[in-house]
Amino acid sequence: MAGQAVSLYLARAVPIFLGLIVAYVTYVLIGPLSINYLLNPPEGRVRRGPAGLAIPIVWAILLFPLIVTWLRLLTVLYGDPGYVKIQDGKDPPQDFWTRDVFVCDILGRPLWCEACQTWKPDRAHHSRDAGRCILKMDHFCPWVGGVVAERSYNFFVQFLGWAMLLSAYDVAILGYFVHEDHSHPHWFVALSLGAFFCFFTIGMVINNLWLIANNATSIENLSRRSRRMFLAVALPPELQNISERPRTSDFTSEIDDPAHSRYGREGNWPMRRLAKSEYWKGTVSYPLTPPTDRPPLPAANPRVFAIIETPPGLNPWDLGSARRNFSSVFGANVHRWLFPFRHSPCCDHSSRVSFYPMGPQFEELLEQVGLVRREETRAPEQRPVLSEGWRNGERPDSWWIGKELRRMERYA
C-alpha cells in the first residue's frame, strides 16, 4: 500500500512538471524570441514584425487544443478511468452469462480478481498502482498521472498528437533561429526540450496508432503472439442439452434461430467438426453453485456455453480492418478524432452479445469448432464467405459484426 501511494503521488507531480516546461517554452518563444529578437531586434539586426507576430499566434493555436485535451484527460484520470465496480460487501452482479460470449477460465467461469473480490469483465486488468480492476486497461502512465484505459485512451492519444505537433513546431522555429544566432542560452534549452518531447511523442503516437489499428492494448500486446484464452460461447437453443463434446454426426444445426432450421438441411453439415476440434474443451451451464468463498449466482433460466480455447495469437476483438478498429476508439466523425468531445464508442457495453464487439478472427474460430457454417463451394484461395441466406440478412444477430458496428456508430 505504501508503494502504491508513493507511485500515485509521484505520478500526480509529473503533470505539474510538464506544465512548467510548456510554460517555459511559451515564455521563450514569446519573450526572448518574438518580442526581444524579432519585434525589438538588437543592434545590427533587421526588425521582422510579421514573423514576430505569426510565431506566437501559431503557437497559441496549437497550444489551446493541447491544454483542452490535457485537462479533459486529467479529469478522467483523476475521476473514473474505467474502474470495475466494487459492491462494498454485496455480491457482485452476475450479468456476464446473460451475454452470448465472455472470457472465462478453463472451467468456464469468468475471471475473478482476488484483490477486488469481483468478476473481471472481458479485457479488464488489475492495476497495482491504482489498486483496482480497470476496464480495457492499457498502462499506468506517470507522464499524465494515472491509468490510461477505456474511458481515457482516446483523450490520451489526442494529447500525444497535439503534443507532437507543438513540440515539432518548437523544434522547427527554434532550430532555425539557433542556427542564425548562437548567443541565446534560453533558445538552446527550449530547443533541447522540444527535440526530446518531439521524438518521444512521435514514437508514442506511432506505437498507439498501431495498437488501435489492431484493436489491442499495451498489456495484450506483450503476449500477442503466444497468448491463449478461453471463451464461453452460448450454444444455440437446439444444442442446449449438450453436456460434453459430441462423439457422433447426429447434430446438424448451427448457431441460428430455430425458424432458420432449413440451413441444417442444405448439405450435410453436422457437428462433427466441433467433435474433432482441439479447441473445444467442454461445456458449462449457468447458473451454477460456486465454491463457498465465491458469491452465489442468481437463479434464472439455465444456459449452456461451449468452452473454447483460442489458438496462440488470436485476437477476438480485432474487427477486421484498421478503419473499424480506429472507429471503435475515436468514432466515425472527424471532429472526434481531433478534439476530446466524447468517450470512445467501445465504452458502450449495452450489447447482450459480448462486452466488446467480436471480429472476423472470432468467427473463424467458431467456424473451426463447428458453430458457424461457411460456404463450402469456394476456391481454396478465396476468403471464407457466408452462405447465401445469411448474406441476405437472415444471419442470426448473435454474430453479426456489421450490426454491432452500426450500433457503435449510432453511439458515436
Contact between residue 136 and residue 120 where contact means Cβ atoms under 8 Å apart: no
Asked if residue 67 and residue 106 are part of one domain, the reply reads no
Structure confidence at residue 95 (pLDDT): 77
Question: Quick one: pLDDT at residue 202?
Answer: 98
> pLDDT tens digits for 316-365?
999 999 999 999 999 999 999 999 989 999 999 988 889 999 999 998 88
Domain boundary among 173, 189, 220: 220
What is the C-alpha separation between 262 and 195, in angstroms, rounded? Answer: 65
Residue 194 lies in a domain: yes
pLDDT at site 308: 93
Q: Cell 432450421 maps to which residue?
A: 261
Final residue in a domain of this structure, among 176, 204, 220: 220
Residue 243 has pLDDT above 80, yes or no: no
The pLDDT assigned to 410 comes to 55
Q: What is the CA radius of gyration of the chain?
A: 27
Local confidence band at 142 (pLDDT 50, 70, 90 cut-offs): confident
Instruction: Please state at what angle helix 322-330 crosses helix 153-180, rounded to 10 degrees.
Output: 100
Q: Tell me how far apart the alpha carbons of residues 250 and 156 are, in angstroms, rounded to a whole number.
A: 53
Does pLDDT of 386 surpass 50?
Answer: no
The total number of structural domains in the chain stands at 2
Residues 38 and 106 in one domain: no
User: pLDDT of 280-299, one tens digit each?
Assistant: 888 888 876 554 555 554 44
For residue 382, is pLDDT > 50?
no
Average pLDDT value for residue range 100-119:
91
Give the mean pLDDT of 221-240.
85
- At 45 the pLDDT is 83
Q: Is residue 97 part of a domain?
A: yes
Q: What is the pLDDT of residue 236?
A: 75
Cα–Cα distance, 32 to 378 (Å, whole number): 70
Are 77 and 170 contained in the same domain? yes
- For residues 131-158, average pLDDT: 93
Residues 253 and 186 in one domain: no
- Domain housing 27: 1-82+148-220
Give CA torsion, residues 276, 249, 371, 312, to 10 deg. Answer: 0
Work out the number of other CB atoms within 10 angstroms of the CB of residue 51: 15
SS (H, E, C) the chain: CHHHHHHHHHHHHHHHHHHHHHHHHHHHHHHHHHHHHHHCCCCCCCCCHHHHHHHHHHHHHHHHHHHHHHHHHHHHHHCCCCECCCCCCCCCCCHHHHCCEEEECCCCCECEECCCCEECCCCCEEECCCCEEECCCCEEECCCCEEECCCCHHHHHHHHHHHHHHHHHHHHHHHHHHHHCCCCHHHHHHHHHHHHHHHHHHHHHHHHHHHHHCCCCHHHHCCCCCCCCEEEEECCHHHCCCCCCCCCCCCCCCCCCHHHHHHHHCCCCCCHHHHHCCCEEEEEEECCCCCCCCCCCCCCCCEEEEEEECCCCCCCCCCCCHHHHHHHHHCCCHHHHHCCCCCCHHHCCCCCCCCCCCCHHHHHHHHHHCCCCCCCCCCCCCCCCCCHHHHHHHCCHHHCHHHHHHHHHHHC
Taking only the tens place, the pLDDT of each residue in 123-136 is: 999 998 888 999 99
Residues 36 and 49 placed together within one structural domain of the fold: yes
**Stretch 258-286: mean pLDDT:** 56
pLDDT of residue 369: 84
Q: Which residues lie across from 284 on neighbouring strands?
A: 305
Whether residue 309 sits in one domain with residue 174: no
Query: For residues 142 and 77, is the Cβ–Cβ distance under 8 A?
Result: no
Same domain, 185 and 299: no
Residue 346 and residue 269 in contact, taking contact as beta carbons nearer than 8 Å: no
Whether 132 maps to a domain, the answer reads no
Task: Give the distance, in angstroms, between the CA of residue 277 and the centroid of all CA atoms in the same chain.
Answer: 30
The per-residue pLDDT for range 71-103, each reduced to its tens digit, is 999 999 988 999 998 866 556 667 788 899 999
Cα angle 172, 176, 179 (rounded to 5 degrees) comes to: 140
CB 284 within 8 Å of CB 232: yes
Query: Does residue 122 lie in a domain region?
Result: no
For residue 368, the model assigns a pLDDT of 84
- pLDDT interval class at 371 (50, 70, 90): confident
Average confidence (pLDDT) over 146-163: 96
Q: Is the pLDDT of residue 144 over 60?
A: yes
Terminal CA-CA length for the chain:
39
Q: Is 318 left (phi over 0), alpha (psi -120 to 50) or beta?
A: beta
What average pLDDT score do residues 4-33 get?
Answer: 86
**pLDDT computed for residue 316 by the predictor:** 94
pLDDT reported for residue 97: 85
Mean pLDDT for all residues in the chain: 80
Residue 384: pLDDT over 80: no
338 lies in some domain: no
68 and 101 in one domain?
no
Question: CA 96 → CA 192, 280, 303, distances in Å?
Answer: 51, 20, 12
**pLDDT confidence of residue 393:** 34
Residue 66 has pLDDT above 70, yes or no: yes
Residues 274 and 359 in one domain: yes
Asked whether residue 173 is assigned to any structural domain, the reply reads: yes
Task: For residues 99 and 157, state if they share a domain.
Answer: no
Distances in Å between the alpha carbon of 26 and those of 56, 72, 178, 201, 378? 8, 21, 16, 18, 63
Do residues 251 and 173 both lie within one domain? no
Which of 200, 220, 240 is the endpoint of a domain?
220
Cβ atoms 130, 140 nearer than 8 A: yes
Residue 248: the pLDDT is: 38
pLDDT in the model for residue 46: 85
Q: How far does Cα 106 stand from its chain's mean position?
A: 25
CA distances from 93 to 119, 230, 315, 348 (A): 8, 21, 26, 18
Choice among 208-222, 231-245, 365-379 with the minimum mean pLDDT: 365-379
Average pLDDT on 188-211 reads 97
3-7, 69-73, 353-357, 394-398: segment of lowest average pLDDT: 394-398
The model scores a pTM over 0.85: no
Residue 195 lies in a domain: yes
32-47 tens-digit pLDDT: 999 999 999 888 788 8
| Claim to verify: residue 65 and residue 214 sit in the same structural domain | yes
283 φ/ψ sector (left φ>0, alpha ψ -120 to 50, else beta): beta
Asked if residue 18 belongs to a domain, the reply is yes
pLDDT in tens, 164-193: 999 999 999 999 999 988 888 999 999 999
Q: In this predicted structure, what is the pLDDT of residue 268? A: 33
